[in-house]
Structure 1
Amino acid sequence: MSTFYDVAEAHPDRLAVLAPDGRSATFGELAARANRLTHALRRLGLREGDGVVAIVHNGLPYFELLFATLQAGMYFTPVNYRSSAEEIAYVVENSGARVVVADADIARECSLDVPRFSVGAADGWEDYASWGENESSTPPEPRTAGQTMLYTSGTTGRPKGVRRALSGKPPSLHAIHRDLLAMMDVHPGPGVHLVACPLYHAAPGSFAVNAMHLGHSAVLMDKFDAEETLRLVERHRVTGTHLVPTMFHRMLRLPEDVRARYDLSSLTSVIHGAAPCPPEVKERMIDWLGPVVHEYYGASEGLICGVTASDWLKAPGTVGRTLTGVRLKVVDEDGAELPDGEPGTLYFSSAHTALDYLGDPEKTAAARSGEFLTVGDFGYRDAEGRVFLLDRRTDLILSGGVNIYPAEIEARLLSHPDVADAAVIGEPDDEWGQRVIAVVQPIPGVSGDDALAARLAEHCRAALAGFKTPKRFDFTEQLPRTESGKMLRRTLRKD
């Protein structure tokens, strides 16, 4: 089975990474640097099962460290570069990392008691660029598969490390990833994958590295810009990318003449997930780009479902059927399994869900039901086996004994031309239990006032039941989303 290391041996001169700063590396160059770093890590005393933390922007060091650890049986933990020094220290301690690598601006703010290397000059940190330069560029023997150990986004509390057992086998592309990519028209051979999201997030990092395992080149953006994305697709003849729904919104808001200016015909696979995508938005993306907009459903804990554009058009709103090797069940509050069509909490099981939340056995136990695991999502499966998400269980609003799903109301609000982003939350109500509140980010130039609130209420009433129409509209300049598109609802709730 092909991996990055096989591609580097067979096609050493093929472009592997083009970084935002213009630096680049071929597969052969990147593999040689990764080999030196593997030997350097072992010289520091790291062995299989040890961890490396990286707090770096999208660039070559991310992939150098990733491929160094993935062939040494080590855990690689990328961390959000916007994290505070306290948050970084927490992850380093919680993960038990033996080495930390950080960009210089981050390193200068951190005091850590482990071997540490800075990308750029920082007092008290060793130089990353020269680290390992005297080591051998030959591969380690034997190669043993490592793991990326990610931390949950912390949308509902303090992040927890998602740790899987090491296989002890040579590195490989996991079968569930290979099958998902094949379904979404991503195949071995030359190709160009555009990275428009931060690599430290689960999905962008995973899809980028898996594309490279298949032999594709990775073109990196430092931050997302709608028109720049189109320009890069045309310039580099990009074949695939991973985006999130908020990016779709921004791309669709570009003027028609701007969208028509770029040749996007090279795209064969635009993959999205991580956050709900309003059906209207997805339909517009498919109308624009063609039937290349594919979707997956999963979390840091594992992949669950996938659906191609053509299959989604047959059942708009579905996140697809379970992937090969994945079992799914829908259960009620008592843990009893529900029949098709009945909504409940989704639990899934696969070889990929053999994991623990590091240092938190209570969270691990609470998320499990035998072999099955849940991330708290609420939804149902139809008679054809297609899965539909309604919302996260923790986001569900219960008003007058009726379940209200924020995602449905948010999708309606986002279809209004004056809305840039929207979040719907429940607020305590003495009579009804909870009432529906919308927090709206207007587009630039539109005032968040009573007139806009009235227009939005009318817009909601035209398509939604009266009890789903928000009882109040609050306005903000910026809603709190992660770069992967997840809404940090806990920062909006006042109860």
Structure 2
Amino acid sequence: MNLAQKKLKVGVLYPGALLPEKADKPAVIMADSRHQLTYRQLDAFANRLGRLFQWRGLKAGQQVVYLCRTRLECLWLQWGAHYAGLRYTFIDPNLAVDRLRTLLSDCAANAVVVDGQTPAEVITALRSMANSPRVYSLDLVAGLPLLEDEILAFDTAPLGNALEGMAMACQMAAGDGPRALRGDQRPLPLGSTLPPFSLPASAADLSDETVYLSLLPHHRYETVKWCQGVSALGGTVVMMTQDAPETILATINRYRVSHGVFDEGTFRGLLALPASVRARYDVSSLRAAVHCAGLGSSQLAGAMMQWWGPVLYQDQAAVTEAAVTQEMGAV
């Protein structure tokens, strides 16, 4: 089923709506460890997290911030907030403490999730903020509740009257805090907006057979939205935390990757490999290799197309969202 067909079923674009058909299909795989979550597990974690946020009094439209590195949990973190109708932002955890404090204050975060690599001074800063947000950790951190333990008390059943959440992004260069990348709108039922992609559907050919290689950090807005879109359609996200060129090729080969977002440095690293190394790996499964910025030279683009074929596309607007409501989809 391709994206054009999915538009006729706009109201079912979220992981839980894909059950039981895709219950045992991998929704996300960590290529480094080969650990994975099925769609059944993804939906269960997301429902439990959404219920925790609701129990803590968070209302639709309030803000959750994730200060964590790329990991398997990222997908259910974003869907849990999305199921609860919240605004959610993944922020680079390596930012300076003062910058993080400013961002968190600007967006009036109601809850923050950190990981075990979060510096102690960041935890202290969170606790000292006016209207300090509730803080959870994905790993054991002294004095913080472990998020996975907290959500186990909640049911995995779908949330009642679930509303559509909204991914947010930070304009770091402009010095702004997290901001919505589409205008405010009335609350919509869960699953009633299409995943945003700047590529035309005919070019990207997204479907429930898509295998998306997630190379960029999860605090990048385009990563969040591609992962949301692929998992809404029933595809598989393959996450990587290593960027060694040969490892990337091996991952494409192993998982038969069909789509990915790449930067110029990655392409240059791949082309720098000896021809004998490149020849070891089959990349014929690729249907769309999206570069999130200009490639800098026509020679680079030409070299990649000569190797991978006519599958390169430029993401002209990685930070724009073309939302389509249920009413539009019915037209």
Scaled by the length of structure 2, the TM-score of the pair is 0.85
Q: Which residue of 2 aligns with 1:7?
A: 18
Would you say the 8 A contact 1:30–1:64 is kept in 2? Answer: yes
User: Which of 165, 168, 175 is the aligned partner of 1:158?
Assistant: 175
- Rounded to whole Å, the distance in 1 between the matches of 2:53 and 2:310 is 45
Q: What displacement does 1:181 show?
A: 5.0
Contact 2:64–2:87 (Cα < 8 Å) also in 1: yes
Which of the residues 58, 67, 72 maps onto 2:70? 58
Matched, 1:268 2:287: yes
User: Is residue 116 from structure 1 mapped to residue 135 from structure 2 by the alignment?
Assistant: yes
* Shift in Å, 1:175: 4.8
Aligned pair partner of 2:297 in 253, 278, 281: 278
Counterpart of 1:340 in structure 2 is: none
Using the alignment, how far apart are the partners of 1:209 and 1:298 within structure 2? 17
CA distance, structure 1, for counterparts of residue 236 and residue 195 of structure 2: 21
- Superposition pairs of residues 278-427 of structure 1, within 5 angstroms: 278-300=297-319, 302=320
Distance 1:166 1:146 in 2: 11
Partners of 1:264 and 1:245 in 2: CA distance: 18
Alpha-carbon offset, residue 295 of structure 1:
1.5
Distance 1:125 1:175, change over 3 A: closer
**Contact 1:192 1:236 survives alignment (8 Å):** yes
1:77 partnered with 2:96 = no
Larger Rg: 1
1:126 and 2:138 matched: no
Letter in 2 for 1:261: R
For 1:151 and 1:178, the matched residues in 2 are separated by 18
Q: How many residue pairs were aligned? A: 303
Q: Which has the higher contact order (CA 8 A, sep 6+)?
A: 2
- 5 Å-filtered alignment, 1:458-473, equals none
Q: Which residue number in structure 2 is paired with residue 321 of structure 1?
A: none
- SS in structure 1 at match of 2:101: helix
Distance 2:61 2:308 in 1: 43
1:91–1:21 Cα change, 3 Å:
farther
Q: Does 1:43 align with 2:55?
A: yes
Alpha-carbon separation, structure 1, partners of 2:91 and 2:280: 36
- 1:334-375 Cα deviation digits (max 9, x unpaired): xxxxxxxxxxxxxxxx779xxxxxxxxxxxxxxxxxxxxxxx
- Does structure 2 retain, via aligned residues, the 8 Å contact 1:146–1:166? no
AA of the residue aligned to 2:13: T
Counterpart of 2:7 in structure 1 is none
State how far apart, in whole Å, the 1-side matches of 2:276 and 2:229 are.
Answer: 34
Give 3-state SS (helix, strand or coil) of 1:241's partner: strand
SS of 2:252's equivalent? helix
Amino acid at match of 2:304: M
Distance change >3 Å, CA 191–CA 351, structure 1 → 2:
closer
Q: Which secondary structure does the structure 1 equivalent of 2:77 belong to?
A: helix
- Tell me the equivalent position of 1:451: none
One-letter identity of the residue aligned with 2:21: A
With over 3 angstroms needed to count, the CA separation of the structure-2 counterparts of 1:279 and 1:8, relative to structure 1, is farther
Distance 1:203 1:61 in 2: 17
Structure 1 residues 47, 175: CA separation in 2 closer, same or farther (over 3 Å shift)? closer
- What pairs with 1:87-126 in structure 2 (closer than 5 Å)? 87-106=99-118, 108-110=120-122, 111=124, 112=126, 113-126=132-145
CA RMSD of aligned residues (A): 2.1
Q: Distance in 2 between matches of 1:241 and 1:351?
A: 21
Matched position secondary structure for 1:126: coil
Tell whether the 8 Å contact from 2:168 to 2:221 is kept in structure 1 after alignment. no
Question: Match for residue 465 of structure 1?
Answer: none
Determine the structure 2 residue equivalent to 1:30: 42
* C-alpha separation in 2, matches of 1:11 and 1:81: 33
Match of 1:210 among 229, 233, 236: 229
> Residue type of the partner of 1:4?
Y
Write the letter of the residue equivalent to 2:189: P
CA distance in 1 between partners of 2:147 and 2:195 (Å): 34
Deviation, 1:223, is: 3.3
Secondary structure (helix, strand or coil) at the match of 2:117 reads helix
Taking the aligned partners of 1:104 and 1:26, their CA distance within structure 2 comes to 24
Q: CA deviation at 1:129?
A: 2.0
Shift of 1:160: 3.1
Answer yes or no: is 1:257 the counterpart of 2:276: yes
Greater fraction of residues in helix = 2
> Cα distance, 1:9 vs. partner?
4.1
SS, match of residue 114 in structure 2: strand
Query: How far did 1:172 drift?
Result: 3.6
**TM-score, normalising length: structure 1:** 0.58
* Preserved CA contact (<8 Å) 1:103 1:118: yes
Which consecutive residues of structure 2, in runs of 5 or more, have no partner in the other structure? Answer: 1-9, 127-131, 325-331
Mark the runs of 5 or more structure 1 residues left unpaired by the alignment. 304-349, 353-495
How far off is 1:47 after superposition? 0.6
Q: Which has the higher strand share?
A: 1
Q: Give the superposition deviation at 1:109.
A: 3.3
Change (3 A) 1:175 1:43: closer
Deviation, structure 1 residue 27: 0.6
Regions of 4+ moved over 4 Å: 173-176
What amino acid does structure 1 have at the position aligned with 2:254? R
Cα displacement string for residues 118-174 of structure 1 (whole angstroms, at most 9, x for unaligned residues) = 1211122111221210101011111211101110132xx424322242441123475
Q: Distance in 2 between matches of 1:177 and 1:170?
A: 17
Go from structure 1 to structure 2 and tell me whether the alpha carbon gap of 1:207 and 1:231 turns closer, same or farther (over 3 Å shift).
same
Q: Give the direction of change, closer, same or farther, for the CA distance of 1:115–1:208 in structure 2 (3 Å limit).
A: same
- Contact persistence 1:107–1:118 (CA under 8 A): no
Task: Tell me how far 1:178 sits from its aligned partner.
Answer: 5.9
| Residue equivalent to 1:198 | 217
